[in-house]
Structure 1
Amino acid sequence: MSQSPSSVDVSPPAAGRGPVRAVVFDLDGVVVDSSAVMREAFSIAYAEVVGDGPAPFEEYNRHMGRYFPDIMRLMGLPLEMEEPFVRESYRMAHLVPLFPGVRETLETLRSRGVRMAIATGKSGPRARSLLDTLGVLGLFDRVIGSDEVPRPKPAPDIVLQALGHLGVAPGQAMMVGDAVIDLLSGRDAGATTVATTWHGGDVTALLAAGPDLVAHAPNDLLAHCPAVLVR
């Protein structure tokens, strides 16, 4: 059965979960539409370090969400690609937009008292710089990169660290992501997992991972995040 673009698919709630008081977001493909800039940065880094030939961006894209050095190891590419990739990513950061509806959704969640964090495969400094450039850094209570946790996604460390900073139990939190490793990280942390489809990636694989919720537009999240009661 077809679904409208703004619908939300819901699985039965897990036992012991309470009202949502915090939302942890992945960054790329969820909050920001960075694919074009990452493709260009990856191509430049590949040409500088590896040499001629087409850069295997599609394979890189399949590992999206992981820490860049981990992707290089998985692809058998030189770790030296990280320096030019990061350099070019910073240079072109002003070309990365927020997805439509993200800013409004974040502002509404903030107004409702929902605490928010970013848990990203990027390094922390690069993620915070990008969000600052976009003017939304202040909407998040915490931004954590893969270089700031013992084990990056798909391990639960980054989600657990974010929730620890927010002071919210996993049973009262959502992990929102566009990649299977986001869902695995959130699930193992004990949070409700939300798969997003507005990034245009491999939605079939994402749904096969069994998320608790599926959001087709950013404001779909609002239906599950009422105003937080002041204790």
Structure 2
Amino acid sequence: MTSAIVFDIDGTLADTPSAIAELIGDVVRGLGASPSRAEVLATVGKPLEASLAGLLGVSVDDDATAEAAARYRARFAADVLSRGPALLLPGVPEGLDRLRAAGHLLGVATSKISTSALALLEATGILDRFDTVVCHDMVERGKPHPDMALRSLADLGAPAARSWYVGDTVTDMTMARAAALRTVGVSYGVDSAEALTAAGADHVVADFPSVIRVLAHGTAVTPHDLAGASPEPTGALT
């Protein structure tokens, strides 16, 4: 029976949160807001317009929100995409290739809109690893609702019981659990290991090779979940 592994992008596959937070902060400060770095970083991985509106202290439908979103998107290529494959976290291309070689179908479920998600995956050179890319503008309800995860499973023809979601935020874990997916939380992104565990992550790991270790065996023995632990045990992905 087909199994699927679905990934978040920002903070999970690509080290984009810092670059994105820097860009968002610059945009909203240019429109008169003065958020802290922590407030800006907390918006990464969430729908852009809602995040900008919150930082600006206006509604999503306000003209200031539309202006901020336009400024963000106009600068996204130069400020973020231009970094290309250097944005990928260590071990990501090799890990994705290993999963595909083992017969897993791979997908993405991201709060980015389609144009931004596809542009980022293309710029980093990993778009062709994925069998489906489901974005915020393709479903009725975004994270933490299960819609994107369910759409990914439907596209891949895979049951939730044999599939996984990998992400770096509490909303990722909430979405995946609502869709009955098993979960791997990564603590190198936006939310802490403690927050991911509290949100119900089945495993929490500290680097991408450890993600692959969990997925390779369907389970993990603490401390093998942790970066720098003992070498990966032998065994094929199933």
TM-score computed with the length of structure 1 as normaliser: 0.82
Distance (Å, rounded) in 1 between the aligned partners of 2:211 and 2:18:
26
CA RMSD of aligned residues (A): 2.0
* Structure 2 residue aligned with 1:164: 154
The amino acid of 1:41's aligned partner reads L
* Structure 2 residue aligned with 1:116: 106
* Structure 2 residue aligned with 1:59: 39
Distance (Å, rounded) in 1 between the aligned partners of 2:2 and 2:39:
35
> Does residue 24 in structure 1 map to residue 6 in structure 2?
yes
In structure 2, do the counterparts of structure 1 residues 137 and 146 end up closer, same or farther at CA, with 3 Å as the change threshold? same
Which consecutive residues of structure 2, in runs of 5 or more, have no partner in the other structure?
Answer: 59-63, 217-235
* Of 198, 202, 224, the match for 1:212: 202
Deviating more after overlay: 131-140 vs 211-220: 211-220
> Does residue 79 in structure 1 map to residue 61 in structure 2?
no
Distance (Å, rounded) in 2 between the aligned partners of 1:195 and 1:65:
14
Distance (Å, rounded) in 2 between the aligned partners of 1:107 and 1:121:
24
Which consecutive residues of structure 1, in runs of 5 or more, have no partner in the other structure?
Answer: 1-18
Distance (Å, rounded) in 1 between the aligned partners of 2:144 and 2:201:
14
If asked which structure has higher relative contact order (CA below 8 Å, sep 6+), I would say: 1
* Of 76, 79, 91, the match for 1:89: 76
Deviating more after overlay: 143-152 vs 68-77: 68-77
Cα deviation for residue 172 of structure 1 reads 1.0
* Structure 1 residue aligned with 2:61: none
Divergent runs of 4+, >4 A: none
Q: Contact 1:25–1:118 at 8 Å: present in 2 too?
A: yes
Q: Contact 1:44–1:85 at 8 Å: present in 2 too?
A: no
TM-score computed with the length of structure 2 as normaliser: 0.80
The amino acid of 1:44's aligned partner reads D
* Structure 2 residue aligned with 1:150: 140
The amino acid of 2:83's aligned partner reads L
Q: Contact 1:20–1:174 at 8 Å: present in 2 too?
A: no
Q: Contact 2:170–2:195 at 8 Å: present in 1 too?
A: yes
- Secondary structure at the aligned position of 1:29 is classed as coil
> Does residue 192 in structure 1 map to residue 182 in structure 2?
yes
> Does residue 138 in structure 1 map to residue 128 in structure 2?
yes
